Amino acid sequence: MNREQCPVLDQLLELQRECRRLQELSQTDTLTGFYNFRYLVQALGDEMERTRRTGLPTGLIMIDLDHFKRINDTFGHDMGNRALKWCASVWRKNIRRIDIPCRYGGEEFAIILPSTRLAQAVRAAERLRDAIARMPFMLDGTHVTLTASFGVDVYTRKDNLGIEEFISRADSFLLNAKETGRNRVRYAGEGTEPASTELTPEERRALFPPHEDS
């Protein structure tokens, strides 16, 4: 019996598609298209376990938009939501395909960086910071410059941390960024000079893979 003669098979395939669609919805923040908090916890746990097995570090970037309440108070919550979607779209273009962007809640975001050292994670955060700071966003006919503060941390095999502790540690660097002037990146052992946003050849290949026909 071929497929055209088997309606049960068609029903099963349709059910599989619907199950996949519902699973994606349960993992995704509907406003930004990023993964939601529930998925963040699951994925971060998976990557931390991978670190314990392989020794490859897991990077985590915590992000909070600066003075976001002013956007809502001045332009309204609908415009605030547009600003969140815009930031998410800009950031998505500046991360690798293996990175895992999540909405932590409100105007706070988290990006998981698999197999990423601290220096790489800091460079990635600087690129994300610079990407929105230099691109004014149009709100209600007004060009508004949005900025964000970033906390960066890396989980290694020698760390004795749970998922919540790792998030909290990265979040503490984010809090320091907010307290020391905003629109900056903070991380453990940072130097006096800001990290370069210049891509390494490895990072460029990850962000901009060559076309198959090139």
Tens of pLDDT along the chain (214 residues) come to 455 557 766 666 665 665 555 455 579 999 999 999 999 999 999 999 999 999 999 999 999 999 999 999 999 999 999 999 999 999 999 999 999 999 999 999 999 999 999 999 999 999 999 999 999 888 878 888 999 999 999 999 999 999 999 999 999 999 999 999 999 999 998 753 445 555 556 656 655 555 444 3
User: Distance between CA atoms of 122 and 154, rounded to whole angstroms?
Assistant: 10
CATH number of 31-207: 3.30.70.270
Could you say which of 18, 47, 107, 126 is catalytic? Answer: 107
Count CA atoms within 13 Å of residue 117 on its CB side: 4
Please state the pTM of the whole predicted model. 0.81
User: Distance between CA atoms of 203 and 193, rounded to whole angstroms?
Assistant: 21
Helix axis angle for 37-54 and 163-179, nearest 10°, is 110
Show the tokens assigned to 117. 């050292």
Query: Domain locations in the chain?
Result: 31-207
The Cα diameter of the chain in Å comes to: 72
* Phi, psi (rounded to 5 degrees) for 122: -65, -40
The yes-or-no answer on residue 107 being catalytic is: yes
